[in-house]
Amino acid sequence: MSVLEIRDLHVTVGEGDDAKEILRGVDLTVRSGETHAIMGPNGSGKSTLAYSIAGHPKYTITGGTVTLDGEDVLAMSVDERARAGLFLAMQYPVEVPGVSVSNFLRTAATAVKGEAPKLRTWVKDVRDEMSALEMDPAFAERNVNEGFSGGEKKRHEILQMRLLKPKMAILDETDSGLDVDALRVVSEGVNRTRAEGEVGVLLITHYTRILRYIQPDFVHVFVGGRVVDEGGKELADKLEAEGYAAYVKDSKETAKA
C-alpha cells in the first residue's frame, strides 16, 4: 500500500513584498484505494495544493512536508515525482503541437517506467483504454490537445492515468467544462481505476455533480488555504444543500481574531 502524507504545508505565490501565502498549514493523508474529494470555493487553495505537490515552479513551499511512501517529494524534481508515482490531471491541459497522442503516451510511459513498453501489448492496451473512454481510434494520431474539445482533453488526461498506472492521481477540476455524457465517461474511467484498488485519488472540485458519479471515501472542505471540515459523502450532500457561505464567514472571523 502506498501513502501520500502532507503535513503542515505552507505555500506562497510571488516574491518579496508581492509574496502571498495561499496554503496555510494543510494536513492530509491519502492511501492506495482511497478517494479523497477536496472541495471549496474558487480561490480557496485547491489547485495550489495540486500544483505544489506536482512541483510547479510558480509555487514556493515555505513550510511543511510532503512524502510518498516515506520519500521526500519536495526534494524531487518534477520528472522524479512522476517516476515516483505521482500523476496530475490538469484543469487546463496544454497543447503540444507536432507531437501525436500515440507518441506522447509511449514517451511518457517510457520516461515513468524507465523502459519502453513492449509495442504489441502497448498498442492493445492503448486501443482498449481508448475504447473504454469512447474515443475514436483516429484520436491517437492527432497532436496533443491541439483543437481538442474540453471533453477530449479530459478523456486524454484519464487515458494517461489509466496507462501510466500511478500510485497517486491528483485530478484537478476534472469535471470542468464537461457535458453530462463526457462527465459520465470520464467518471467511469476514474471508477475503473478505483476498483483496482492500487491508486489513491485526490479529486479536486468545487461542484458536487461529479460526486454523483464518483463516490468519495473522504471529503475535505478547503477555505482560506486550510482544511476547515472533513467527513464522508454526507458532507458533500451538505455542501450541495448549503454551499460554502458559512465556512467562508467563519474563516474571515477567525482571520480577524
pLDDT score for 254: 65
Quick check: 248 pLDDT over 90? no
pLDDT score for 108: 93
Better-scored residue on pLDDT, 206 or 171: 171
pLDDT score for 209: 87
96-100 and 143-144 as β-strands: parallel, antiparallel, unpaired? antiparallel
Q: Which amino acid, residue 216?
A: P
Cα–Cα–Cα angle for 246, 64, 89, rounded to 5 degrees? 70
Quick check: 135 pLDDT over 70? yes
pLDDT score for 208: 86
How do residues 178-188 score in pLDDT, each as one tens digit? 889 999 999 99
Give the three-state DSSP class for 43. coil
CATH superfamily for domain 3-256: P-loop containing nucleotide triphosphate hydrolases (3.40.50.300)
**H/E element holding 170?**
strand 168-172
How do residues 102-118 score in pLDDT, each as one tens digit? 999 999 999 998 899 99
Give CA–CA dist 119/123, Å, rounded.
6
Average pLDDT over residues 18-25: 93
pLDDT score for 184: 93
Give the three-state DSSP class for 129. helix
Q: What is the pTM of this model?
A: 0.91
